[in-house]
Amino acid sequence: MATPNYSTLVASVRKTFNSGKTKSVEWRRKQIQNVIQLIEDKKDEICQVVKKDMRKSEFEAILNEVTLTKNEGYYALNNLDSWVKPEKVKKDLLNMSNDCFIKREPYGVVLIVSPWNYPVQLALAPLIGALAAGNCVIIKPSEMTEATAEFLERTIPQYLDQDCIKVVTGGVPEISSLLKERFDYIFYTGNTMVGKIMMKAAAENLTPVTLELGGKSPVYIDSNCDFDVAAKRILWGKFVNAGQSCIAPDYILCTEEVQARFLDSMKRAIQQFFEEKNPKQSDYYCRIVNIRHFHRLKKMLNGAQIALGGATDEQDLFIEPTVLVDVKPGDAVMQEEIFGPILPIITVNGVEEALEMINEGEKPLALYVFSHDKKLAKRILDCTSSGSACINDVMVQFGLNTLPFGGVGHSGMGGYHGKHSFETFSHRRSCLMKALNMESVNGLRYPPYTERKKNF
């Protein structure tokens, strides 16, 4: 099959952008309203496609694909007028009578490349930010969640301005061809290896990027902790979407004594979550996205010491919620982001060893601490770096849209959500407006540079 060529598509979108159509606040508002309308009208279909793609439960689909995305839209609508206002800046003596401000302006044609794990939210939430800032957008959803990609390709043109917002579906040949085009901004969510491909392609045109990547997000559990509460919160974060969340707790660090006590709490929590049934029979429990990822995860169980779970079913792409104990840093499960329902526990002597281990790895996307001791939590924050951090819970920092969401180092660059999305997709243009008077003062800088001027 011939490699697709997107020159005409990108050129037509750029022509529309250059017409100025997307700059009006009314246009932006209308498009965001239409994204919300799409989600509301097609709520049931969204649940169906994500179920088809990865057996996501209806509850999780409503919460993570529908509600979170709609909230992002409402927040943008409610704040758009204040966001677009020019920002006045402090002035020095020379500029007292001038108008000095920062004007947020759209970059132009934005490429949004989204992944499969939250395939609706991670395509539409950045779209809302890009529209709020007045950009034209080309979205490339993940080919791995085919039903959702087809859904987005079909419904987005029904609701949004077709001249300005396009969906391109397909896999590596399509995205590789798209990346040959010049974009004004690239917003990529996915794995770190492809993040580098995005950045290289962007560098060709000096295109700015946001890279929302992944990594191994650690959890430190202190002995001064409520283990039952910690177990529920951590396991929820690890097993929602079957662990296929970028900020899922990846592994636990704690002392041997804590490991033993925490294990009991986890047993109770799992029984409660699945009402003592086998998670395989539960409607709540998602499946692994495809056979490649299933085998990748299954390999991590080879030779591991399984304390809870461990059952797998290839036909059903099922991996039971699984906890591994006495894991060593060299074990297979510690060599890459797990991105599945496997939770390893590594025992350490105490917080110092935990800090050493965390700081030896790449900077994670998220970091979690469970402790009653606030001083200890603050100390861990001071001694480490991560995209985000949360004390005594996991993942919920993602839902607060006044916090920028993003990574650092190998877990990404840039951030979004709420106003941070608007900022991400806007260029901050410095503007200084003067009048043509006051020439006697301005004249001081013109040649000839006389002695009198030098001494001024």
- By CB under 6 A, name the one of 17, 83, 251, 339 that touches ligand NAD: 339
When the beta carbons of 181 and 337 are compared against ligand NAD, the nearer one is: 337
- By CB under 6 A, name the one of 115, 218, 279, 418 that touches ligand NAD: 115
Min dist. Cβ of residue 216 to ligand NAD (A): 10
User: Under the criterion CB under 6 A, does residue 194 sit at the interface with ligand NAD?
Assistant: yes
Residues 10-39 that bind ligand NAD (CB under 6 A): none
- By CB under 6 A, name the one of 65, 212, 320, 423 that touches ligand NAD: 212
Tokens standing for 333? 């499960």
Check the CA dihedral 376-382-386-390 and report its sign: positive
Instruction: Return the amino acid letter for 305.
Output: Q
Tokens standing for 62? 């409503």
User: Under the criterion CB under 6 A, does residue 183 sit at the interface with ligand NAD?
Assistant: no
Q: What length is written for the chain?
A: 456
Min dist. Cβ of residue 248 to ligand NAD (A): 8
User: Under the criterion CB under 6 A, does residue 243 sit at the interface with ligand NAD?
Assistant: no
- By CB under 6 A, name the one of 143, 150, 153, 331 that touches ligand NAD: 143
User: Under the criterion CB under 6 A, does residue 203 sit at the interface with ligand NAD?
Assistant: no
User: Under the criterion CB under 6 A, does residue 249 sit at the interface with ligand NAD?
Assistant: no
Runs of H (alpha helix) within 274-329: 291-299
CA distance 193 to 213: 9
Angle between helix 25-41 and 121-132 (nearest 10): 160
User: Under the criterion CB under 6 A, does residue 113 sit at the interface with ligand NAD?
Assistant: yes
| Site stretch for ligand NAD (CB under 6 A), options 19-27, 71-79, 151-159, 184-192 | 184-192
Backbone angles phi, psi at 254, to 5 degrees: -165, 170
DSSP code of residue 94: G
> Are the C-beta atoms of 139 and 168 separated by less than 8 Å?
yes
Min dist. Cβ of residue 180 to ligand NAD (A): 11
When the beta carbons of 309 and 340 are compared against ligand NAD, the nearer one is: 340
- By CB under 6 A, name the one of 42, 104, 140, 238 that touches ligand NAD: 140
Tokens standing for 254? 């704690």
User: Under the criterion CB under 6 A, does residue 190 sit at the interface with ligand NAD?
Assistant: yes
Min dist. Cβ of residue 179 to ligand NAD (A): 7
DSSP code of residue 367: E
DSSP code of residue 293: H
End-to-end CA distance of the chain: 73
| Known catalytic residue at 212 | yes
- By CB under 6 A, name the one of 77, 197, 389, 391 that touches ligand NAD: 197
When the beta carbons of 129 and 134 are compared against ligand NAD, the nearer one is: 129
Which residues, 6 or more positions from 27, have their beta carbon under 8 angstroms from its beta carbon? 21, 134, 161
Burial class for 441, CB neighbours closer than 10 Å (0-12, 13-18, 19+): exposed
CA distance 124 to 452: 62
User: Under the criterion CB under 6 A, does residue 209 sit at the interface with ligand NAD?
Assistant: no
Residue 106, preceding bond cis, omega within 30 degrees?
Answer: no
CA distance 270 to 279: 9
- By CB under 6 A, name the one of 36, 122, 338, 358 that touches ligand NAD: 122
Number of residues that bind ligand NAD (CB under 6 A): 28
| Known catalytic residue at 47 | no
Binding mask 148-177 for ligand NAD (x = CB under 6 A): -----------------------xx--xx-
Catalytic entry in 246, 254, 286, 390: 246
- Spacing of C-alpha 355 from chain mean position: 25
Catalytic entry in 212, 320, 337, 423: 212
CA distance 453 to 67: 64
Give the interface with ligand NAD as residue ranges (CB under 6 A): 113-117, 122, 140, 142-144, 171-172, 175-176, 189-191, 194, 197, 212-214, 246, 337, 339, 365, 407, 412
Q: Could you give the residue numbers annotated as active site?
A: 212, 246
